[in-house]
Amino acid sequence: MSKQQTIGIFTSGGDSPGMNACIRAVVRTAIFHGLRVFGIHRGYEGMIEGEITEMHAGSVSDIIHRGGTMLKTARSKRFLTPEGRKQAADNLRANGIDAVVGIGGDGTVAGARVFFAEHGIPFVVVPGTIDNDLWGTDYTIGYDTALNTAIEAIDKIRDTASSHNRLFFVEVMGRDAGYIALHAGIAGGAEAVLIPETHTDLEAVIQTLEQGWQRQKTSSIVVVAEGDEAGGAFKVAEAVKGRLPQYDTRVTVLGHIQRGGSPTCADRVQASELGHAAVKALMAGKHSILIGKMKGELVEIPFEKAVKEHNPIPAHLLDMVKVLSI
15 catalytically annotated: no
Q: Write a three-state SS string for the chain.
A: CCCCCEEEEEECCCCCCCHHHHHHHHHHHHHHCCCEEEEECCHHHHHHHCCEEEECHHHHCCCCCCCCCCCCCCCCCHHHCHHHHHHHHHHHHHCCCCEEEEEECHHHHHHHHHHHHHHCCCEEEEEECCCCCECCCCCCECHHHHHHHHHHHHHHHHHHHHHHCEEEEEEECCCCCCHHHHHHHHHCCCCEEECCCCCCCHHHHHHHHHHHHHCCCCCEEEEEECCCCCCCHHHHHHHHHHHCCCCEEEEEECHHHHCCCCCCHHHHHHHHHHHHHHHHHHHCCCCCEEEEEECCEEEEEEHHHHCCCECCCCHHHHHHHHHHCC
Catalytic residue among 131, 133, 228, 267: 131
Q: Which residues are catalytic?
A: 131
